[in-house]
Amino acid sequence: MSFNEIVAELPKLTENEKRQLLNLLSHELRDNADQESPEFLAMLEARILAADSGGRIHTLAEAREAVKNTAKRARP
């Protein structure tokens, strides 16, 4: 079943089924929240290698901002 087909079926669900679906999705998203995307991990590795080889070093504030921006882009 495609995503669009699933979305088309949502209005047909009972309130109880919608709650169950919401709980399931919440659980799935929570479980996957700790898993970083391959793109993020590749960027992190590249930055670590650059820092190790004398490349630009980022401040803690810059690193936090980069992580925050990456997290925003990863959310649907």
- Report pLDDT digits (tens) over 4-52: 888 888 889 888 888 888 888 887 777 666 667 778 778 888 878 877 7
Domain coverage including residue 17: 1-35
Q: Hunting for tokens 């490349």 — which residue is that? A: 55
State the Cα–Cα distance between residues 66 and 58, nearest whole angstrom. Answer: 10
Residues whose CB is less than 8 angstroms from the CB of residue 49 and which lie 6 or more positions away in sequence, other chains included: 55
- Whether residues 64 and 40 share a domain: the answer is yes
Q: Determine the pLDDT at residue 32.
A: 64
- Whether residues 9 and 28 share a domain: the answer is yes
- Whether residues 41 and 64 share a domain: the answer is yes
State the Cα–Cα distance between residues 30 and 13, nearest whole angstrom. Answer: 23
Q: How many domains does the chain have?
A: 2
- Whether residues 47 and 75 share a domain: the answer is yes
What pTM was estimated for this model as a whole? 0.40
- Whether residues 51 and 24 share a domain: the answer is no
